[in-house]
Amino acid sequence: MIIVLANTKGGVGKSTLAVHIALWLHDHGLSTAFLDADKQLSGAQWIEEAEPAIPLRTARNPDDCLDACERLQREVACVICDGPAGLDDVSRSLMLMANLALMPISPSILDLRSVTEATSILRYAQRIQGDRLQGALVLNKMRRRERISRELARAVPQLGIGVASSVIRDLQAFRDAAQQGTVVTRMNTRSASAAASDLHAFCDELFGDWLRDLGILKNEREAMGS
């Protein structure tokens, strides 16, 4: 399984979610690797600090991406790819290898305008990959009381692309986690537990059934009986 975090825009939360999803899967017992295909390498540095046990590769061009994905897929069940901003060849090649493309979008006027552009790369890859590539928008940095957040939530279902129904709120703990080289699910503050609960709901929605099928997560009835 190859999961890519993609968006033509920077600052929407690709690296934040890539690192958090990788750690969530790893901590639930799924063998998971991380591929950082962004030149800034912020995801790679973060993962290295947070969990050295996660196999890590970096890639700077489409050939590197292909090589790294092929190698990592032989080692682990799931490869999380942190993509660059933009519509370049690296973004396209990641999309052409992925099984799942997650596109974080965050509430700003600019993001609202760029969603169509961001989704064009997903449509391009889906024309080639067909059903092998699933795509979903992820509402990140949401503020329930803010008008632009509500407008974004109202606008995205009309784009014709799946939207994760669990949203991730704008919470200081996500910024603190980056600074401390850890993830919100491993922190012990009130803000972190709110952030962790958003992340659990989101990851369970996306990966819960898969992990239960693999026997890694117990279903609720079994868990209650055990």
Ligand X SMILES: Nc1ncnc2c1ncn2[C@@H]1O[C@H](COP(=O)(O)OP(=O)(O)O)[C@@H](O)[C@H]1O
Binding site for ligand X (CB under 6 A): 10-16, 42, 140-141, 168, 170-171, 174-175, 178
CB of 214 to ligand X, least distance (A): 28
> What CA–CA distance (Å, rounded) separates 5 from 155?
21
Q: Give the chain's radius of gyration (CA, Å).
A: 17
The interface partner of residue 11, options being ligand X, Mg ion, none and the CB cut-off 5 to 8 Å by kind, is: ligand X
Residues that bind Mg ion in the complex, under the rule CB under 5 A: 14-15
Q: How far is the CB of 212 from ligand X (least distance, A)?
A: 26
* Strand 162-163 to 134-139 pairing: parallel
Position of minimal CB gap to Mg ion: 15
CB of 130 to ligand X, least distance (A): 27
Amino acid sitting at position 43: G
Q: Which does 29 bind (CB under 5 to 8 A by kind): Mg ion, ligand X, none?
A: none
Residue with Cβ nearer ligand X (181 or 210): 181
Strand order in the sheet with 78-82: 56-58, 32-36, 78-82, 2-5, 100-105, 134-139, 162-163
Q: 16 or 185: whose CB is closer to ligand X?
A: 16
Q: Which does 171 bind (CB under 5 to 8 A by kind): Mg ion, ligand X, none?
A: ligand X
CA distance 160 to 56: 34
User: Residue 14 or 57: which CB sits closer to Mg ion?
Assistant: 14
Of the pair 34, 174, the CB lying nearest ligand X is at 174
In the complex, minimum distance from the CB of residue 132 to Mg ion, in angstroms, rounded to a whole number: 25
Closest approach of Cβ 143 to ligand X, in Å?
10
The CA-atom distances, in angstroms, between 38 and each of 16, 142, 179, 185, 191 are 13, 24, 19, 24, 28
| Nearer to ligand X among residue 14 and residue 217 (C-beta) | 14
Query: 186-214 burial, b if ≥16 CB within 10 A, otherwise e?
Result: ebeeebbeebbebbebbbbebbeebbeee
111 near 12, Cβ under 8 Å? yes
Dihedral of alpha carbons 128, 118, 195, 46, sign = positive
Q: Whole-number minimum distance, CB 83 to Mg ion, in Å?
A: 8
Whichever of 140 and 149 has its CB closer to ligand X, that residue is: 140
